[in-house]
């Protein structure tokens, strides 16, 4: 789907909304699988978001400054014998963009409005 500049796609709104949900629950950062699971549990879909869709959207959001990421310290992943995680968090710009997107005139933000209304 080709998007207009400054317009958020539904998957991007879902990521931002779920990321803000996690933040409110005291989880400041999330990795790819965690956000896919959060989106599913938020009711935006019955299945986990596809790899390509998810990571492409994360890529776009980070490029636009709505998310920031860091790679986990290798020592932490080594202790748990698992691959390194890439942690994301929603920036202030991302929070503002999500807020603007859930304004009543937005056509794309129905799922996010439902989520924010419930929180």
Q: Which residues bind to another protein, rule: CB under 8 A? A: 31-34, 36-37, 47-56, 58-63, 67-71, 80-86
- Are 15 and 23 within 8 A, CB to CB? no
In three-state secondary structure terms, 86 is: strand
CA–CA gap between residue 91 and residue 20 (Å, rounded): 10
If the CB atoms of residues 9 and 116 are measured against another protein, the closer one turns out to be 9
Nearer to another protein, 49 or 102 (CB): 49
CA 98/CA 96 separation, integer angstroms: 5
Query: Least CB distance from residue 26 to another protein, whole Å?
Result: 19
Nearer to another protein, 24 or 81 (CB): 81
CB of 65 to another protein, least distance (A): 8
């Amino acid at each position: 789907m080709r998007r207009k500049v400054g317009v958020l796609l539904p998957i991007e709104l879902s990521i931002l909304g779920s990321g803000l949900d996690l933040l409110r629950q005291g989880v400041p950062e999330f990795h790819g699988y965690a956000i896919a699971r959060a989106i599913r549990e938020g009711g935006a879909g019955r299945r986990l978001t596809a790899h390509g869709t998810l990571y492409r959207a994360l890529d776009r959001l980070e490029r636009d400054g709505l998310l920031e990421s860091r790679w986990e310290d290798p020592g932490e992943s080594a202790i748990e014998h698992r691959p390194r995680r890439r942690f994301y968090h929603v920036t202030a710009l991302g929070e503002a963009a999500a807020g603007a997107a859930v304004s009543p005139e937005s056509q794309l933000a129905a799922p996010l409005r439902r989520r924010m209304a419930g929180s």
